[in-house]
């Protein structure tokens, strides 16, 4: 087990597209443990993606259970996650480990369905909404080399309905 | 790297102001920090953090010709350039209703009693000249509950007939 170093923008590697995981071998199992330890060491952080620590494979961890007022599925390790359905729109504030000292409002889908493999390589599917769905979308963006401030919403959007802060 | 100043500029809006101001500052070796520009009632307004190896008088002399050319009022204050210490808002309040005197004052006073620190305030006047509407968004930080804020604002909603929408901001960090 080890805590991994977080890549910080403008490190160009954060723009790299991560590769699918072909199988859950010992190396992947050990990496997931390290990624979990790294996430749990970061106060207030609810998600992390493999490329944020410099390994460009399609693995994310999301755990919103520390914010019980938001519906959530607990501790999720998702390998090769794909969003297979999305609906609705919500604007909420996001920050990123890889972009210190900056938060901004980002538009995301309110409802999503995500298909992936779990840490054992078994297929899983989740329907989720709101804050947890936001976290998943933020982390999957990392796998595609995107950062939250690529999709910021301007400050002065008068009378636009806002949900899910 | 020089002193930090807050440069405030106000004038009639037209295209190219930001370009001209920033070019003059750049050519003089200035470094820009955080800024907020808005068109308020047809006026160009900006508050701009400027770091420059010069005294206040020198900065004023630098900007004087540009101020005259673009018909801009400007004002410079020496400040502490405290970057990289952002305070995260934990509440957002949206207010709208028929424009009338006292909305901001009453809302802000209620918030101040709960030691609510306003970090951002934006307001607009919309509607028509005959029936103006006032729209305001406030983001800020307070060490109290959503319900205590709602309770303190409720009398205003009743008295002023305005609509308020208060939400907690739960920043997603990932």
pLDDT in tens, A100-145: 989 999 999 999 999 999 999 999 999 999 999 999 999 999 999 9
- Buried-state track B16-39, b at ≥16 Cβ within 10 A, e below 16: ebeeebeeebeeeebeeeeeeeee
The pLDDT of residue A150 is: 86
Burial degree of A112 (CB within 10 A; 0-12, 13-18, 19+): buried
- Written as one string, the DSSP assignment of B17-32 is HHHHHHHHHHHTT-EE
The reply to whether A139 belongs to the active site is: yes
Residue A158 pLDDT greater than 60, yes or no = no
The pLDDT of residue A156 is: 57
Closest CA of chain A from B136, distance in Å:
8
The pLDDT of residue A165 is: 45
The pTM of the full predicted model, rounded to 2 decimals, is 0.88
B→A contacts (Cβ < 8 Å), by residue, are: 38, 84-86, 88-89, 92, 94, 96, 120, 122, 124, 126, 135, 137, 167-174
| Mean pLDDT of all residues in B112-140 | 95
| Mean pLDDT of all residues in B1-17 | 95
Contacts of A139 in chain B (CB under 8 A): 174
How many alpha carbons fall within 13 Å on the CB side of residue A8? 5
- d(Cα A110, Cα A137) in Å, to the nearest integer? 10
Contacts of A131 in chain B (CB under 8 A): 170, 172
* φ and ψ at residue B141, rounded to 5 degrees: -125, 135
Confidence label for A161 from pLDDT (cuts 50, 70 and 90): very low
Residue A160 pLDDT greater than 60, yes or no = no
Which tokens in the block code for residue B91?
């509440």
């Amino acid at each position: 087990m080890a805590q991994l170093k977080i890549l910080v923008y403008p490190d160009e590697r954060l723009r790299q597209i991560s590769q699918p995981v072909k199988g859950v071998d010992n190396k992947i199992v050990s990496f997931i443990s390290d990624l979990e330890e790294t996430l749990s060491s970061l106060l207030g952080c609810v998600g992390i993606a493999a490329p944020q620590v410099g390994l460009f494979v399609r693995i994310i961890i999301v755990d919103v259970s520390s914010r019980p007022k938001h519906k959530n599925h607990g501790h999720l390790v998702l390998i090769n996650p794909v969003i297979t359905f999305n609906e609705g729109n919500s604007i909420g504030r996001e920050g990123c480990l890889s972009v210190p000292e900056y938060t901004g409002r980002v538009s995301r889908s309110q409802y999503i369905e995500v298909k992936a493999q779990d840490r054992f390589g078994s297929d899983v599917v989740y329907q989720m909404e709101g804050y947890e769905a936001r976290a998943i979308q933020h982390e999957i963006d990392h796998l595609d080399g995107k950062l939250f401030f690529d999709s910021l919403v301007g400050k002065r959007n008068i009378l636009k309905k806002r949900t899910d802060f | 790297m020089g002193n930090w100043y807050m440069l405030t500029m106000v004038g009639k809006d037209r295209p190219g102001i930001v370009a001209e101001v920033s070019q003059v500052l750049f050519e003089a070796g200035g470094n820009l920090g955080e800024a907020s520009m808005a068109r308020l009632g047809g006026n160009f307004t900006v508050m701009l953090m400027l770091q420059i190896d010069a005294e206040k008088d020198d900065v004023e002399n630098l900007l004087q010709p540009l101020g005259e050319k673009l018909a801009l009022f400007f004002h410079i204050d020496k400040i502490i350039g405290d970057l990289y210490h952002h305070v995260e808002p934990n509440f957002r309040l949206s207010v709208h209703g028929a424009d009338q005197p006292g909305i901001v004052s009453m809302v802000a006073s209620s918030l101040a009693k709960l030691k609510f620190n306003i970090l951002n305030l934006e307001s607009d006047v919309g509607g028509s000249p005959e029936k103006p509407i006032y729209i305001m968004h406030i983001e800020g930080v307070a060490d109290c509950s959503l319900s205590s804020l709602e309770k303190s604002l409720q009398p205003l909603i009743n008295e002023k007939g305005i609509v308020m929408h208060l939400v907690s901001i739960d920043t997603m960090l990932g």
